[in-house]
Every structure is written in structure tokens, then in C-alpha cells.
Amino acid sequence: LGCISSSRPTWSSKREWKPLEDRSCTDIPWLLLFVLFCIGMGFICGFSVATGAAARLVSGYDSYGNICGQRNAKLEAIANSGLDHTHRKYVFFLDPCNLDLINRKIKSMALCVAACPRQELKTLSDVQKFAEINGSALCSYNIKPSEYTLTAKSSAFCPKLPVPASAPIPFFHRCAPVNISCYAKFAEALITFVSDNSVLHRLISGVMTSKEIILGLCLLSLVLSMILMVIIRYISRVLVWILTILVILGSLGGTGVLWWLYAKQRRSPKETVIPEQLQIAEDNLRALLIYAISATVFTVILFLIMLVMRKRVALTIALFHVAGKVFIHLPLLVFQPFWTFFALVLFWAYWIMTLLFLGTTGSAVQNEQGFVEYKISGPLQYMWWYHVVGLIWISEFILACQQMTVAGAVVTYYFTRDKRNLPFTPILASVNRLIRYHLGTVAKGSFIITLVKIPRMILMYIHSQLKGKENACARCMLKSCICCLWCLEKCLSYLNQNAYTATAINSTNFCTSAKDAFVILVENALRVAAINTVGDFMLFLGKVLIVCSTGLAGIMLLNYQQDYTVWVLPLIIVCLFAFLVAHCFLSIYEMVVDVLFLCFAIDTKYNDGSPGREFYMDKVLMEFVENSRKAMKEAGKGGAADARELKRRFPSIPTCHLGKTVCSHLHCKRNQVLQPVTGNR
């Protein structure tokens, strides 16, 4: 892992941060635990393949335990087992539309056949003729093709008439009906708004007809997301203040309308003498009064919050501007969502394939109908739970690796005074540090998220199973617990991200990094609130803008498509993909802003601009500090909180010295830090 020995002393809670000074391995026991867990995941996959599950999954097997396309061994006490199916390579279901929605499987006898019926067979005579011509018997092995129309067993051991036209599924050798309308019942269980087979058919045909338009719109959403990331840098100042003003004006306007309606209704004469109508009018008047008072209180609180946080909004604008510069210096950050998505898709494909293997793993057991099922007995039956935990933990591990990679690259950018001395590829350098030193920290952080997600998923499953059966109190408790766990998960995710940033700066273990980051966040609580409200709201509006633009383009393009009439499913697919793409790109932007803020908070806490303690921050952030200094001077007579805060952050420099220091930094060329001004002036 490239661990290096370090003689650093154990720092106290008041130790200073030392960005990028040395590296050491962090949380090695957790990395070993994660490696052992991954070995267990590999054992599950190997066990399922070694027990023959792979052959049963790919080639398929009949209701008697015979694998299609090969010679089989005799199973004890199982009739019709041990048959030679070398020339029968496909699985055929006698009633393919008989679905068991609870167990999610086809509830029908399965046989191995030489060919799938490509055309609909309406009578037993057609089934018999198909067997004679193609050599593919579609009835039970005990019945000869010549007896299909003569024996009484045909109703139970021959396919249900009419036999739909079918074709083999690629790579999995199952005969599937060409017309999927018989699966409408299963689709209705998954998609509640479909209540008609014809509707489902039209929806799917609409998707197939407009697949080129869908691909084009998905590409459009990708381009719009990348363009928006560039635009935000240049319009961040205008956009933030426009949103702030609109929110305030909207609150004032809504409050004014409510009071106007209340005053108008109160002055209106009471012409009616019907007691019931009079009572209704009084109730409406009382409700308007309550709404107006509530809106007034909300507006006052919102106005006070905006007043207190107005200077913090300027910091949000500066951070967004610097984040744009980060993407210019680190262009590979734009492609980070692609690598993460690619890694997740690979892992999910492996996980689903192993899950399918597990579905056909185990010993042959005869069920009530006399057919063969494969079930796992003993402790191995709990491999499902292990596999599910692996899905959550490893997925969170991949996402955490992305967060650590982004944090490491942005930290390198921020704490490099001369940007010309940046590594050739800071992203690859960050990936190298992650793999060599900090995989254990990522494993520990992702495991903590997993510990919160698993109980929430269990409660959600219990709530779905008890829907309509539990009383109101139990339903309320379940929903409250799910909501609390969701909030805890979001808080831990935010803290984890800042812990990864602290690890990228100081190379400390997860707990130490989380504690240090938490202390910094608490000291800058108002700034954190401003960034997480104004900034997140801006990015949310950006996502809405991309989705709306893509949806509008989709409507305009689909308007010229006359091959179908239902646009619902294509538009839903396009809008969901647009939101996913926008979320992936703008979440990277949000991540960069959060990392920059933590770096800025550390910079202002441990540096004051004096010789040997020069600032690392960008010129735009320097301007923010200079504006704060001016505000401190103007508010000095009143003793404003911001003045005390800034004075606390720069205790060793007189006010005039601070101003000269900042100004000397503002006029640096090519981001080179000049010597600060010395002495009081």
C-alpha cells in the first residue's frame, strides 16, 4: 500500500492543520476487514458456480431437474430425471403467462425442447404437426406426439392453447412469447398506472419507435449539464441575488395578499341570515387570519435570516466562482461521474448475476406438484443477507472513493500557492494517494452509512408488508423511524464527506478527521447554513432547468412523431435520465464547493497573512476577506458580531495591517504570494 513511517507526535484537539506535508496509511484494520468481506462475496459467487448454478441459469432446466443441452445424471426418487437433452437446448413453459407474483416466477411445468414455436399453435393437431416436422415435442416426455390428440392427459401435460408464438432469449435459452401482452398482469403489479393491456402495448411500442429521439434527448441533457457547470461560474453572483430577492418578494407578496383577503372579507356586509352560512363565513375568516399571521411570522423570520446571512451569501458566491476555476485547472473532474457510474454498473452487473446464480443453487427438492426445485439448507441459506449487505457497503465504498478523489484533487489545488506547480494530473495523483494510503478510511466511512441504511431498508420492507394491516399508531411510528434514519443518514453522509477532506489534508484516520472537520463546521455554522441553503437551492434549480429544457425539447420532437399516440413513457424515461445526469454533474460541483469551504475555513483559522503564515486562498476569496474587513471598520462603533468574528480570526494583525496585507495579495500576479506588509501604518 505504500505506507510510510511517520514520527508525528499525537496532536491534541488544538493542533494546527498541516496540509499535504506528509502521508501515512489510515484505518488499516478497516481495510483488512473490507478485503475479507470482499473475499466472502467472491466465495458466494464461486460457491454458486461450483454447485452447477451457472449451467442451470444459462442453459435452463426442466421441471425434473434436467439441464437442457446436455446429458444429465439420475436424481434419486425423481421421475423423468437423468435424461439426455443434448439436442434439446431450449426451455419451454406449458403456460408461460401463469405468473406467481409473490415468488416472482412462472408457475408452470417446464420442458426441454429442440425448438421454440415461432408461430401460434391453436389446436393440439397443430402441436402434433409441429412435433412431427421440427422434432420438438411440446408435451410431457411420457406422451408420444402421435398420442397428443388421443390421450386424456393432454389437458394437464400439454401446453395451454393457444400456444403463443415465442423466440429464445439470447444467451439464456428460454422460449419467451413474442407478444408480451400476456405479462400485462405482472406489469400492472409493478406499474400501478397501467390498467389495460392495450395501454401497456402502446407505451412499449412508443418507446421502441422513438428510441432514436430518446437517445438524442439523453445526449442533449448531458451537453446541457456540462454547459450549465461553465455558466454557473460567470452568473453565480447575479443568480444568487435574484433568487434571494425573489424569495423575499414572494413571501412579502403572499403575506400581503392574505392580509388583503382577510380585510376584504371582514369589511364585506353579512347579508345572509342562514346560521350555517354565517358559521362557514366566520370559519373562513378565522382561517384567513391564522394563515395571514403564520405567513407574517414566516416572512419576518425569513427576512431576519436573510439579514443575518447576507454577508455569508457573498462567501457562497465567491466559492461558486472559485469552483469554476477549479474545473478549468482540473478538467478531468468533469469526467469523474462517468468513472463512478461505470464502476457501479460493473459491480451491479456482477451482483445481479451472482443473485441469479444463488436462485438456482442448492440441492434438488421435490415440491407438492412433483417438480424439482433447488433450495439451500443449513447456514448457507443466509448467504442472501450477506449478499445484500455487500450490495450496500460496496456501492457506498465506490461513491466514497469518488468523494475522496475529488477532495484530494481540490485540496491539492487550494493549498498549492503557485498553480503552475500543480501536478500534471491532480485527479490521478489523488487516486494514487487514495489507493496507497486511505482505502481503509473510505471503507470505514462507507460502513457507517451501511449501518444506517440497513435498518431503514428493513423498516421500509416491514412497512410495505404491513400496509393496510397495522393501526394508525404503528404506521406513524414506522414512518417516524424511517424519517429519522433518513435524516441521520444524510447528516452522516455530509460529515463523512468533510472527514474525507480532512483526511486528504492531514492524512489522519477517519475518527480524527471527522472530529476535526466537525469542529470547523460548528465554528462556521452560519456560513455552512448559507452554503447548504443558497448553494443547494441554486443547484436544485439548475437540475430543474435541465429537466424542463430536455422535456420541452422532447415534446417538440415527439410532436412530429406520428407512429404512436402515447408519449408518457418516452418522456418519463428522458426526464429521469436528464435528472440523473444533472444530479451527477452538479453533485460534483456541490462537492467541490464544500471542499473549498472547508479549506477556506481552515485557511482563515490558522493563517493571518503575516510572514510565514500567508493565505492560500484565491484572489476572489481575498476580496471577500477585504470586504469583511471594511464591514468590520464600518460596524466598529456598534460592535457587530461580524467584526468580532473577523477580529477573532486575525488577532495578531492590526486592522490597517490586515488591509495592506490583503491588498498586497490582491495584486499578486499569476497567483504568486508577495511578502506581506510589515509594521503598523
Match 434527448 to its residue by C-alpha cell.
217
The cell for 541 is 434549480
Measured CA to CA in angstroms, residue 315 lies from 31, 69, 541 at distances of 37, 68, 19
Which of 309-323, 456-470, 495-509 has the highest average model confidence (pLDDT)?
Answer: 495-509
Q: How sure is the predictor about 434, in pLDDT bands with cuts at 50, 70 and 90?
A: very high
| Helices assigned H by DSSP within 89-145 | 124-134
Q: 197 in helix, strand or coil?
A: helix
Calpha distance 54→359 (Å, rounded): 10
Q: What is the pLDDT of residue 59?
A: 85
Which segment of 91-105, 169-183, 213-227 scores lowest on mean pLDDT?
91-105
Chain mean pLDDT for the chain: 76
Q: For residue 374, what pLDDT is reported? A: 77
Label residue 654 by pLDDT band (50, 70, 90): very low
Give the up-direction half-sphere exposure of residue 60: CA atoms within 13 A in the CB hemisphere: 26
Q: How far apart are CA 66 and CA 84, in angstroms?
A: 8
pLDDT in tens, 384-422: 889 999 999 999 999 999 999 999 999 888 888 777 777
Q: What is the mean pLDDT of residues 82-97?
A: 86
Inter-residue contact 301 to 519 (CB < 8 Å) = no
pLDDT over 70 at 3, yes or no? no
Rounded to two decimals, the pTM is 0.73
Q: Which cell numbers in the block locate residue 442?
A: 473510505
Higher pLDDT, 475 or 71: 71
Q: Using the predicted structure, report yes or no on whether residue 627 has a pLDDT greater than 50.
A: yes
> Cell numbers 403575506 correspond to what residue?
255
Rounded-to-integer distance, Cα 515 and Cα 506, Å: 13
Phi, psi of 96 (to 5 degrees): -70, -15
Weakest-pLDDT range from 204-213, 510-519, 560-569 = 560-569
List the Cα angle 299/303/309 in 5-degree steps.
145
Q: Which residues contact 155 (CB under 8 A, 6 or more apart)?
A: none
334: amino acid identity, one letter: V
Query: Does residue 600 have a pLDDT over 60?
Result: yes
Q: Which are the contacts of 598, defined by CB distance < 8 A and separation ≥ 6?
A: 498, 501, 502, 517, 520, 521
* pLDDT score at 637: 46
| Beta carbons of 550 and 220 less than 8 angstroms apart | yes
Query: Residue 448: its pLDDT value, please?
Result: 94
Angle separating helix axes 568-606 and 197-209, nearest 10 degrees: 60
**What is the reported pLDDT for 616?**
79
pLDDT tier, 567 (very low <50, low <70, confident <90, very high otherwise): low
Strand-pair category, 175-177 with 363-366: unpaired
Cell triple for 540 = 436544485
Q: Are 93 and 110 in contact (CB under 8 A)?
A: yes
404 and 500 Cβ atoms separated by less than 8 Å: yes
What is the CB neighbour count within 10 angstroms for residue 193?
8
pLDDT score of 631:
61
* Rounded Cα–Cα distance for residues 485 and 489 (Å): 6
In the prediction, which pLDDT does 661 show? 41
- Scan for cell 422460449, then name that residue: 175
Among 90, 88, 110, smallest CA distance to 98 is for 110
Average pLDDT over residues 264-291: 68
pLDDT digits 0-9 by tens, 247-267: 677 778 878 887 887 888 777
Would you say residue 638 has pLDDT above 80?
Answer: no
Relative to beta strand 372-375, strand 363-366 is antiparallel
> For residues 512, 517, 518 and 523, what is the CA-based torsion angle, rounded to 10 degrees?
130
As a dihedral over the C-alpha atoms of residue 187, residue 190, residue 193, residue 196, rounded to 10 degrees, the angle is 20
- Answer yes or no: are the C-beta atoms of 64 and 80 closer than 8 Å: yes
Of 251, 244, 248, whose CA–CA distance to 314 is shortest? 244
The arithmetic mean of pLDDT across residues 572-585, rounded, is 84
The residue to which cell 473475499 is assigned: 39
The model's confidence at residue 633, banded by pLDDT at 50, 70 and 90, is: low
Nearest in space to 153 (alpha carbons), one of 166, 140, 137, 171? 140
Q: Give residue 636's pLDDT.
A: 55
pLDDT interval class at 680 (50, 70, 90): very low
- Torsion, CA 255, CA 260, CA 263, CA 266, rounded to 10: -100
Which of 612, 632, 634, 614 minimizes the C-alpha distance to 624?
Answer: 632
For residue 457, count CB atoms less than 10 angstroms from its CB and return exposed for 0-12, middle for 13-18, buried for 19 or more.
Answer: middle
Measured at the CA of 393, the angle between CA 387 and CA 397, to 5 degrees, comes to: 140
Please tell me the predicted confidence (pLDDT) of residue 462.
Answer: 81
Query: Residue 32: its pLDDT value, please?
Result: 96
Those residues whose C-beta lies under 8 Å from the C-beta of residue 282, and which sit 6 or more positions away, are none
Rounded Cα distance between 299 and 293, Å, is 10
Q: Which three cell numbers stand for residue 654?
A: 492590526
Model pLDDT, residue 664: 40
Cell of 110: 417446464
pLDDT at 389: 92
Q: How confident is the model at residue 510 (pLDDT cuts 50, 70, 90)?
A: very high
Residue 223 to residue 335: CA distance in whole angstroms: 13
Integer Cα distance of 672 and 72 in angstroms:
77
3-class secondary structure, 83: coil
Provide the grid cell at 61.
Answer: 432446466
DSSP-derived 3-state class of residue 166: strand
Is the pLDDT at 655 greater than 60? The verdict is no
